[in-house]
Amino acid sequence: MHIITIPVTAFAQNCRIIACSQSKQAVVVDPGGDYNKIVAALKQHDLTLTAIWLTHGHLDHVGAADALRNTYSVKIIGPHKDEHFWFENLPMQAQMFGFAAVTAFYPDEWLAHDDIIRVGELSFIVRHCPGHTPGHVVFYQPQQQCVIVGDVIFKGSVGRTDFPKGDAQQLITSIKTQIMTLPDNTRILAGHGSDTNVGYEKQNNPFISGQFG
C-alpha cells in the first residue's frame, strides 16, 4: 500500500491518495479542494483512479470530489446516509467557511457500518463514527494496520462538535468503541495535522483519558 498525503485548502486538510502497490489502482480520500494538485499527484505516480471515498460531508473534505468524479468517470463512495444534509447544504457551507461558491452534489453510494470497500488488492472495513457529524465514517485496513479517520480524532485532540448535529458525548463514544479498540500500533491518519497511533492516543489524548471533555 502506498499513501500519498496532499494538504488541501486553507484548512490544510489531509487529502490522501491510497494506492495498491500491485495493481497501481488508487482512491482519493477526502479531496477537499486543490483539484490540480490531486490530479498532478495521480499523474506523477502513474496511478489509475477507481473511486473517491469520503469520511464526511464538510466542504474542506469534499470540495474537489465532484470535479474529480466528472474528470475520471468514477463514483463518490461514502459517507453514511445521515450525512445527506451536509451535501444538500454545500452552498451554505461555502459561505460559512469562506470558500468559493459551490453547487450541491451527492455521493453515488452511501456506506454503512461494517461495509467492505476495496482498491486493488486492499480491503478496508467501514466503521460508522458519529459525533463530529452524524454520518461520519472511518476506513480501517487491518493488514496494513492503519485507519483513515477524517475529523474524528487528531493527535492529542478530537473533532469539533459545535457544528449542526454535532454531539460531543457521541463523538467520545465513537472514538472509544471504534478507534481505541483497534491494536495499539494502528496508525491513525487524521484529516488535519500529524499522523498518530492508537497506543499514543490512549496514553496522551486528554479527551480520551477524561482530563478534558
pLDDT tens, residue by residue, 64-101: 999 999 999 999 999 999 999 999 999 999 998 888 88
Q: How far is CA 35 from the centre of its chain?
A: 16
Q: Read off the pLDDT of each residue in 133-158 and give the average, rounded to a whole number.
A: 98
* Percentage above 70 pLDDT, the chain: 98
- pTM (predicted TM-score): 0.96
**Could you identify the residue written with the cell 484548512?**
11
State the pLDDT confidence band at 141, using cuts at 50, 70 and 90. very high
Residues 6+ apart with CB under 8 A from 141: 1, 122, 123, 124, 125, 147
Q: Considering only residues 99 and 125, tell me which one the structure prediction assigns the higher pLDDT.
A: 125
Q: State whether CATH 3.40.630.30 applies to domain 2-209.
A: no
Residue 138 bridge partners (DSSP):
127
The pLDDT of residue 100 = 86
Give buried/exposed letters for 147-182 (b at 16+ CB in 10 A, else e).
Answer: bbbbbbbbbebbbebeeebbebebbbebbeebbbeb
Task: Give the integer Cα–Cα distance in Å for 208 and 200.
Answer: 11
Residues 6+ apart with CB under 8 A from 49: 26, 27, 28, 42, 68, 72, 74
Choose among 64, 3, 81, 4: nearest CA to 30. 64
The pLDDT of residue 101 = 87
